[in-house]
Structure 1
């Protein structure tokens, strides 16, 4: 265990005063129950850190206790609204009390075998040993309840004050025990704006390859949290500089493409960080799309005479790469679909400011975006993608984007743009043309949908005229049968 860096009377007094400032009524109430049952209860980890930083109006309630899981269950009976024992074999009992979700874990003194993803769970005897196995000193403070006595054996209070990330024990040992802690270091740098100490950075750089033993699911969770951080660029720089990103997200460090004095193009990596930071922190799909929107550029870069550089079709190539990477990271299917879709469409708006689109082009833009949520994301990504320092160009682009959004709103009101459909349903098309269900119906439907996008709302008479046009072009003699639309079932969606 590392000694504290200062243990004089002044520091102790400051730390105990700190404990008095932590106001968590539910924790005091619960602590009194554990004391009455002969056990100790401590508010620990992020709960203490966030309470000190005042980072959350409703901090998580994570506790460590001397009680074994079955003893914790007994203490909670009659007090908690619900109790879960799914984590009991790892020492954790979860409970619900009102709107609060609570996790209480028996003191731990885990041991790790080299190369193992999981520790051998061992229950400990004291809070100091428990705190020593935590990731960083700022998460290795504890406040005993209900008397608010603070335990800070590893100098977490000073690190919190100095905004430093340091491991309670030697970082090589800590990161070898659980390599995910290296990504958590970058995640906390992103969310808190803290900087890791030199020893932690060196250890992460030397041990980056051990990240291969960590499951994709665990990495994905940390990546999402890093993406949402207020200091995202700090966290991502840490992943890239240490080589950690090379292990699970190599497409991002690849954006640091070597440039030469003749062929100039913007720093794609720096541009990418700026785009992510320009997107809504609450929307993980949008932030992922911003992170991956230009990953097709290294594979498509071409040099031309006069110092020009092009990245033709990097949107299409990037969409395929994004799909593959997100599958590797075990993202949900709908997230993969939506992110890749945004990457593929992120250049669609370019040129609008120079050549105003027809109403047909606007309809196609909305139709290709898909859902209203995806349209909102596409517009947001498009705005964030403009990172030029040319203020005049930036203002012109922003004005054009606003104009397009205004036109979309007007067309929505006039035409119900989000539900552009052919004037006739498939049942009517087949009856009129005299064709059976099959691939041909899909081709007719696509033709009619395309006409709806081009012309706007179409009445049934015009729809039948268009079917005549399609039939003539495809050497089909229409049967001419006109039938009413097929009634929809109550649960049938409007496809």
Structure 2
């Protein structure tokens, strides 16, 4: 049972604590022996940080973080006896990890680190109190701890009861109740120690649905350029966690409002185009955030968040600032913005050191997102359908969602017309797929047949012939063998006769 703090006497506080108690209590058989082992060595053990927060939110996972008075070598000895597998790759920072019964634990000696204000790497210093450890953490909702102590077993049981004591020196419980992010110390101190915490603030806005306190937002704005002290790899990792959250558009918006995006993702604030006096084009920035939100709503809940789709939704219009043109009558155009946008996407994601396959998929979706608008209602010929499916390849399901998400018009008639047109396209794809293998459109003659028919050896001319036959296949569908041979010979004669 929790020994409740004095401030925990309100119904709301007690409700959060009761939820955490229930979540930790389910792990009593696993954690009581661990707590007993530390107690037997005269050491304390605390569940700490994100797991405490998540337990109160009803979302405790399988990775548990602990802090302890024990020094690393003692932690290692205890985990060697308790765990199924133990690793100490973080032991120089006071951290030893283990797994048992499908649960992973990471236990770290109390820390009281000092920062040099230049890098985010602290001078590792071990502390003596849990309060000193908690106050150095990033946000108050992550600066709560639950002390685990094995109580005396009763006469009818050989198992010790797990006693829980709640520690909250920074008022994290209050912030959790109010869904707000604030720092244990002054935010300027916290962010100067580790600028990555500013990105973590935006990430938690996305993951938890929280807001940041006014002083945190102001510090993020004033110190945005400090983010340049952080390595690209760490920036990329935080951006991905943000993008995979429950409301990534809110996290991105915070980055833009505070100026952090100017340093890590400048193409997004650049979407805030100045509106012309005729208001002939929509707010591209607001539109992009809406598309991101709508894309997440189209995801399959069983498959989970789709990082590639979300990045494509956010980046799909980043080519518009470079392609905007004004015309007579106030009309505004963005011709070929998808081409420019795909190039900008590749450039930005390379700078962020994304894997090549992620860059290729996201940029291809950006490149293809306008293909749908090149055809009017009811004008999807067999050839057009084949090309659409072939160009999308394995990205077709994502492209379908991206194009649907890209409809943000407030005009109900226009929205309904776009939905009907896309419904019609998907019907055409399904209908043609039933007759042809659209997923693997190939020329009716392969390279070996082409060489045999034309008497060619391997070389560029074979590639040109293959490309022609592929175009013919896309345009006219499957041909019988004799017809395909005749078309190939006619093409060769016309070009080499």
Please report the TM-score for the alignment, with normalisation by the length of structure 1. Answer: 0.90
Give the aligned partner of residue 491 of structure 2. Answer: 470
Give the aligned partner of residue 372 of structure 2. Answer: 349
Q: Could you give the per-residue CA deviations for residues 66-96 of structure 1, whole angstroms, max 9, x where no partner exists? A: 2222222211124322112222222222222
> 1 CA distance for matches of 2:87 and 2:205?
32
2:223 alignment partner, one of 207, 213, 225: 207
> 2 CA distance for matches of 1:388 and 1:8?
49
Aligned pairs (5 A) from 1:6-405 = 10=9, 14=14, 20-23=21-24, 24-25=26-27, 26-56=30-60, 58=61, 60-146=63-149, 147-280=163-296, 282-371=305-394, 374-405=395-426
Please state how far the C-alpha of 1:59 moved relative to its aligned partner: 5.1
Consecutive aligned runs of 4 or more in structure 1 exceeding 6 Å deviation:
none
Give the aligned partner of residue 483 of structure 1. Answer: none
Please state how far the C-alpha of 1:397 moved relative to its aligned partner: 1.1
> 2 CA distance for matches of 1:472 and 1:258?
56
> 2 CA distance for matches of 1:134 and 1:11?
26
> 1 CA distance for matches of 2:491 and 2:31?
72
Assess if the C-alpha contact under 8 Å between 2:62 and 2:102 holds in 1.
no
After superposition, the Cα gap between the structure-2 partners of 1:16 and 1:432, relative to the gap in structure 1 and judged at 3 Å, is closer
> 2 CA distance for matches of 1:170 and 1:428?
74
Assess if the C-alpha contact under 8 Å between 1:263 and 1:309 holds in 2.
no
Task: Tell me the secondary structure at the aligned position of residue 63 of structure 1.
Answer: strand
Q: Could you give the per-residue CA deviations for residues 104-157 of structure 1, whole angstroms, max 9, x where no partner exists? A: 222111111121131112222221111111110000000011421011000000
After superposition, the Cα gap between the structure-2 partners of 1:99 and 1:461, relative to the gap in structure 1 and judged at 3 Å, is farther
Q: How many pairs are equivalent?
A: 468
Q: Could you give the per-residue CA deviations for residues 38-81 of structure 1, whole angstroms, max 9, x where no partner exists? A: 3221111110001101135x353111122222222211124322
> 2 CA distance for matches of 1:353 and 1:78?
69
> 2 CA distance for matches of 1:346 and 1:9?
52
After superposition, the Cα gap between the structure-2 partners of 1:130 and 1:436, relative to the gap in structure 1 and judged at 3 Å, is same
Task: Tell me the secondary structure at the aligned position of residue 278 of structure 1.
Answer: helix
Task: Tell me the secondary structure at the aligned position of residue 46 of structure 2.
Answer: strand
Give the aligned partner of residue 482 of structure 1. Answer: none
- List alignment gaps of at least 5 residues for structure 1: 1-5, 477-495
After superposition, the Cα gap between the structure-2 partners of 1:428 and 1:112, relative to the gap in structure 1 and judged at 3 Å, is same
- List alignment gaps of at least 5 residues for structure 2: 150-162, 300-304
Please report the TM-score for the alignment, with normalisation by the length of structure 2. Answer: 0.90
Assess if the C-alpha contact under 8 Å between 1:45 and 1:140 holds in 2.
yes
> 2 CA distance for matches of 1:123 and 1:470?
78
Task: Tell me the secondary structure at the aligned position of residue 377 of structure 2.
Answer: coil
Aligned pairs (5 A) from 1:424-439 = 424-439=445-460
CA RMSD of aligned residues (A): 2.0
Bigger shift: residues 456-465 or 166-175: 456-465
Assess if the C-alpha contact under 8 Å between 1:352 and 1:400 holds in 2.
no
> 2 CA distance for matches of 1:33 and 1:165?
35
